Amino acid sequence: MLVVRPVRPSDLPALERLAGLAIPSLTNLPAHRTRLEERIAQSQQAFAREVECPGDEHYTFVLEDLERNEVVGTASLRALAGAREAYYTYRQETLIHASQQLNVRHEVQTLALSHEVSGTTQLCALALDPRYRGTHAERLLRRARLMFIAQYPERFAKVLAMAFPGSLDEHGASPFWDSVGRHFFVHDYHEINYLAGVRSKSFIAEVMPQFPLYLALLTPQAREAIGREHPAHEAALAEMLDEGFVRSRHVDLFDGGPIIKADRNLLHSFRHAAWHPVRVCPAHALADADPAMIANQRLADFRCVVARYALTRTGQLTLSPEHAELLDVEEGRAVLAAPLALPPCATRGAGYDRGEL
């Protein structure tokens, strides 16, 4: 059985292991013991804090496989991406240069440094043991955070954002970094990424070029990397587009990776999440049904599992005694459920989100 729950101090070795496994390594999950310890402490404070509006809370969750008695994944929520310092991105912009004299109209693409994403809630720092890739476990880990946000909307921003690692070349180098950031730093992409995780990314952003960059002056490889995700993250990105996220004009400062965003109320899981009273049934008596994410109503003892979405005629959700215990719910208490499957999004490949134009 799999469960997503808030991180505990005893999860430190597991977090360290997961941080080391991420491909490519994640800026916001550095394999650095002190930083991870801080991350855990910060998360515990966030879950314990009374919050009226989102601030610098950083919630970290883990995915535990109870059969193996092992933590096999982690994912985070930054309540406000730019709470302590600005969250910098490059925003893709198009300028029209038109000349009446020559009767020409010329579109010029630029990347402009932006703080705009600072006001969003960021879903970040997801790392999963490779053995679980492509399974329900991965989808649960990624989307359990939405179940948490749905229950505590006052703790989060209305717009959610997610950055995906950018594409790297066959040598593991970032063509985008090599054509942009490298002019300003001696470090290669992996060094700067680690440094950003250990120090702070916005700190580095402030030393990045402040004027917009003309795409025409970047290498063709760098231009191609803009808004393109790392192949290992294609499926994850597609899932979130199905969930209702859209590609934004923003890309990561370091590797040009895509940043997607969504009005949370438009997300599939938000629109289809429903409260149901629990009815506990022996496992062998449960009806067959599609899988769903099921979350309890506890803040610091938040739990989210995958179980069959089987309802009784009177709208009660049937749960096995094991799941009921895991969620710490008794018969008659309500849980939040949302289907795990998502209908494929028709506009997966489409451009930027409509709200920007």
Q: How far is the CB of 201 from other proteins (least distance, A)?
A: 12
Instruction: Decide: 59 and 77 in contact? Cβ < 8 Å.
Output: yes
Which of residues 71, 213, 237, 306 is near other proteins by CB under 8 A? 213
199 belongs to the binding site for other proteins (CB under 8 A): yes
Q: Which is nearer to other proteins, 77 or 218 (CB)?
A: 218
Counting runs of H as helices and runs of E as strands, what totals does the chain give? 10, 15
Q: Does 214 bind other proteins (CB under 8 A)?
A: yes
Options 42, 44, 110, 297; binder of other proteins; rule CB under 8 A: 110
Residue 34 binds other proteins, judged by CB under 8 A: no
Instruction: Name all contacts of 309-315 with Cβ < 8 Å and 24+ positions apart.
Output: 309/337, 309/339, 310/286, 311/276, 312/279, 315/276, 315/277
* Binder of other proteins out of 21, 23, 195, 334 (CB under 8 A): 195
Cβ 217 to other proteins, closest distance in Å?
4
Pairing of strands 70-78, 121-128: antiparallel
CB count in 10 Å sphere of residue 9: 9
In the numeric block, which tokens belong to residue 19? Answer: 């941080």
For the record, the structure tokens of 260 come out as 């997607």
Q: State which of residues 119, 212, 291, 339 lies at the interface with other proteins (CB under 8 A).
A: 212
Q: Which of 207, 235, 287, 341 binds other proteins (CB under 8 A)?
A: 207
CA-CA distance, 126 to 289, in Å (whole number)?
Answer: 28
CA 33 to chain CA centroid, Å, is: 22
Q: Which residues pair with 6 in a beta bridge?
A: 61
Residues 31 and 27: their CA atoms lie apart, in Å, by 10
**Quick one: which segment of 63-71, 90-98, 314-322, 346-354 binds other proteins (CB under 8 A)?**
90-98
Candidate ranges 25-33, 148-156, 182-190, 318-326; the one touching other proteins (CB under 8 A): 182-190
For strands 121-128 and 159-163, give the pairing. Answer: parallel
Question: How many residues form the binding site for other proteins (CB under 8 A)?
Answer: 31
171 binds other proteins (CB under 8 A): no
Please pick, from the candidates 101, 282, 285, 346, the single residue that binds other proteins as defined by CB under 8 A. 101
Q: How far is the CB of 354 from other proteins (least distance, A)?
A: 28
Give the residue with the Cβ less far from other proteins, 251 or 260: 251
Does 191 sit near other proteins (CB under 8 A)? no
Binding range to other proteins, per CB under 8 A, among 45-53, 141-149, 198-206, 280-288: 198-206
Active site residues: 230
Question: Judged by CB, which is closer to other proteins: 195, or 334?
Answer: 195
C-alpha to C-alpha distances, 204 to 71, 91, 124, 198, 235, nearest whole angstrom: 32, 17, 19, 11, 30
For residues 36 and 91, the answer to whether their CB atoms sit within 8 Å is no
DSSP per residue, 97-160: EEETTTTEEEEEEEEEEE-GGGGSEEEEEEEE-GGGTTSHHHHHHHHHHHHHHHH-GGGS-SEE
Least CB distance to other proteins at residue 35 (A): 16
> Which region, judged by CB under 8 A, interacts with other proteins, from 125-133, 150-158, 199-207, 302-310?
199-207
Query: 308, 291 in Cβ contact below 8 A?
Result: yes
Q: What is the DSSP string of 262-309?
A: EEGGGSHHHHH-EEEEEEE--GGGPPP--EEEEE-S-STT--EEEEE-
Nearer to other proteins, 173 or 238 (CB): 173
Residue number with CB closer to other proteins (63 or 218): 218
Stretch in the footprint of other proteins (CB under 8 A) among 126-134, 184-192, 237-245, 308-316? 184-192
Q: Round to whole Å and give the CA distance between 199 and 349.
A: 35
Q: CA 89, CA 236: separation in Å to the nearest integer?
A: 21
Name the residue nearer to other proteins (CB basis): 215 or 299.
215
Instruction: Indicate which single residue of 137, 218, 295, 342 sits in contact with other proteins (rule: CB under 8 A).
Output: 218
The contact set with other proteins (CB under 8 A) reads: 95, 97-102, 104, 106, 108, 110, 179, 183-186, 195, 199, 203-204, 206-209, 211-214, 216-218
